Amino acid sequence: MMLPTLDLGSLAAAAATVFVFLALRRFVDFRARAKAIGPDLPGFRLTGWPLPLPAPWKRLRGVSASGRWLWERKYETFAGFGLDICSTVSALPRVWAGILVADPAVVKEVTSARNRFPKAVQFYRLLAVFGPNIIASEFDEHKKFRKAVAPCFSERNNRLVWDETIKIVLGLFETEEWRGKSTVELDHCVKITIPIALFVIGVAGFGRQVSWDADTAIPKGHVMPFKEALNVASLNLRVPMLLPRWATQLRASWAHAALAFDDLNVYMKEMIRQRRDAVVREERFDLFSGLLEAADDSKDQLTDEELIGNVFVFLIAGHETTAHTLAFTFGLLALYQDEQEKLYQHITSVVAADGTMPAYEEMGRLTYSLAVFYETLRLYPPVTNIAKYAAEDSVFTTTATHPDGTYSPKQVVVPKNTFIGISITGMHYNPRYWDNPNEFRPSRFLSEYPRDAFMPFSAGARACIGRKFFETEGLAILTTLIHRYKITLKDNPEWKGLTVEQKREQLLRAKPVLTLT
């Protein structure tokens, strides 16, 4: 009996035929999606990598237009097209069609009509690595989480945030590195903003006091102190999100981060058990206790996994965003000394003569502190893009800008299942709404400003539920530190002869990952 022979030439021809067929089908699908989204809507036609996702490169023409590249261009992308909406169609890994929006009126329509334009949760699945949570959910699941989470962000919690934050910053001034010194040098501002934000989320988020003093006690059943587990986890949030468990063992730092996450998980499970088993429950106002209480009292009780998943989101939102926003704030104040002097004079007019910081109830008097904070958030928003999608066919009306400076309305067709990227930086740097948008000018927030074009906290039903927590902590840190210290730049030789804007470009170089860092 003769065995059949293997004709490699025929196999190669068959494989080539299949490849050509699939490529042609992909090309036809690509052209159809590009036509459906509007042949006269300018934008990007790409081989791959959708716009809302970060990419390790800036841009490969005709291949990708990454979130990093869009952040660096800010409003320039839209200005080049003469529209506050542009399109993007990519072929790989599948045919993907979307629009990018920097028109506040259209953004308001998108964020107000939740059923028509739901959140594209597939872009946020990485945040669910610790468990289902309020950010990586939509519809009934999101309503369940928001109902449980909302009561945690109470006035009592905000007062706790204010009091503890001031105590933590004053404690910094008493550490060995700061006590009695008129000048303190730092190579990077996050060396203080990260631990301050960490200590605040420790006490106001988890109900655990964390101090500047060394904490070396390792409780039974743990591999590191709570402070270390919280610190290592907060600095390595991307490790469990981006790496499979086996890959974390390839580097010592990744393995240590994985160990910290495991240990922090054990700490939280112990806290859940201890507080549920307590005969007399102590009255607490931290987020963890509030969420635990809401979870137990709700008809739709949260599982321990959902509880921990939402607490980890508090850690990400309450730690990373605050630390980096404050670093940007201090950098801007160091560059613009006249603005820092205005802020200092305002703070001294509010702070008591004996140096006692204002109480939480007086926070509303710190108008210039809030203006500085808002202007920083306009220039360096924590999230640069928000992903939505069209659940039905829609038509948006935007404004076209013509070369002669005139405007005219333009309708944009948005087919069902089109992804919608809300460009926060596109709106924040749009000269139609902000005079000299690249300029650091806090005073623009002391009077009426274009609120629909200012969206660092998102908007609508998906607006940031922890906004007051974030603002309270940020104002307390900013006010307490500026009242005591003046921030200046080191006299680096490489900055000699540079303008303030050129120094700012180097000093505050940033890139969007989970948040702008």
* Binding region for heme: 464
- Which residue is it, tokens 């800008």? 401
Separation of alpha carbons 206 and 192, rounded Å: 20
Residue type, 64: S
Separation of alpha carbons 438 and 74, rounded Å: 10
- CA neighbor of 264 nearest in space, from 225, 292, 303: 225
User: How, if at all, do strands 85-92 and 43-48 pair?
Assistant: parallel
Instruction: Give the three-class secondary structure for 92.
Output: strand
CB atoms closer than 10 angstroms to residue 307: 24
- Which residue is it, tokens 């860092």? 517
Say how many CA atoms lie within 13 Å of 390 toward its Cβ.
Answer: 23
- CA neighbor of 400 nearest in space, from 40, 47, 35: 40
440 touches 336 (CB < 8 A) = yes
Q: Report DSSP letters for 319-380, one per residue.
A: IIHHHHHHHHHHHHHHH-HHHHHHHHHHHHHHS-TT-PPPPGGGGGG-HHHHHHHHHHHHHS
DSSP 210: -
Residue ranges at the known binding site: 464
Say how many CA atoms lie within 13 Å of 144 toward its Cβ.
Answer: 18
Q: Which tokens go with 16? A: 């080539």
Separation of alpha carbons 312 and 218, rounded Å: 22
Separation of alpha carbons 215 and 212, rounded Å: 9
Name, in order, each residue with C-beta under 8 angstroms of 30's C-beta and a sequence gap of 6 or more.
89, 91, 95
CB atoms closer than 10 angstroms to residue 56: 8
Longest CA pairwise span in the chain (Å): 105
Separation of alpha carbons 17 and 24, rounded Å: 11
The H or E element spanning position 16 is helix 8-36
- CA neighbor of 144 nearest in space, from 268, 1, 298: 298
